[in-house]
Structure 1
């Protein structure tokens, strides 16, 4: 049984799909040789008619995505997140993820719209800088009536290639303003060094990460990395500990891992120490973590 919050999310997802119907592809007109196609200024569409898994996909610029049909999964290492029709997701720039696209049983088509963010207005950067970033892999945007209205209008205006100018830019800026406080949308604006380290660790948690190995991935010396972390008010040890705790939370959220697995993933020798630290971060003990439920059911 759906809670009122989930009923609201589902209703907003249906409203968004209804608003974007003019941009949806009909299966009979779909050319499978052109999965990705430009739909307008900063607006792209992607379709497929068979299940596909795409490895290590990354975008040059950050994207706002809307699933129009079927389902989409993102995977960062062993951590995954799925999206159904009407869901909105954020794809940060220069972040490698595995992607699975699943066509709908109803129409045999997977389709999404992708809005490319070329630049963030200067007035919004300071607003976004105060937002809390998502923990681990969390690309899901929480819909609101205002966001549905702004996002649908922006997409329709961007699809009008002849007139997609000042008005579409205004609508897109409105979308960014509404997203600025959402943790998942932090990747649209910028990611701090600790956040970039967190993504690397979550993607490959079994690797023995050190300042040297992380520096190699990030294009800087280990000593420079440590110094930059100090500038962010943290340390190498604190950053790695926080990232590994994200891995532990993700494991427990799947419902397939034990607390012992989570303790090992977080790098703790003591189960009690792990439990205290876990509750301090997430507000509940490890034993009370439950698998994430879809808002579609």
Structure 2
């Protein structure tokens, strides 16, 4: 009988990567999603059945934050995270043989804007504003469940970098069209993580059975926006990159129906707990990560 992992919200950029890597390791991967042919969120019995005797459940579900923060989208962003987390928690309570590990996505955006010092799990200051409210509600919905047989972990993920999606697509386009200079002041800190290390962190947390709670999922070497764009230009062999002032990006964000917080917020996050527990990153520096991601010469 094949070992089984359940990925909730597994049809996106991160979920597809995890699914392929876990299948390579011999796992059966079951997806919960709003999309057919996967198990639907309304199918509580099907979710319970999927979770029975699974090795772990990884919940990545949530509406993309790449949209305008109007009242309708704000409500959907929060509910798509808290309600799906509650569905999984209730399904785990109904299991006879629940998975021993529940990893729930969270976000490094839970910390305040920081240019003065890095944020760790122990010493980080929780911020304010809508994105922080989302993160708090998300984690509260996870830890509200008091499970005796299942470890619960919230992964506070920094911006995930990889070949096949996420923020790399717009960043590459900016550089390709000569707009790969600094965005805004360029001093804001960019905390990031390579998607391969996200996968490896999940396996590390699975193997280390005494670990639970909150973990920062980010490279130990965050960089400034100025450094990021310099490394992007270098990786893509582009010498010139015009800067994008804040006012220009604010106008552009309206036209493409997104928010500029992803660019302007200074997220300075360190993976203190992971490093203390002995996790070693494959892609700890941005130049190594970008060399792997931007290896296709067509970029």
Question: Whose helix fraction is larger, Structure 1's or Structure 2's?
Answer: 1
Bigger Rg, structure 1 or 2: 1
TM-score by length of 1: 0.27
TM-score by length of 2: 0.26
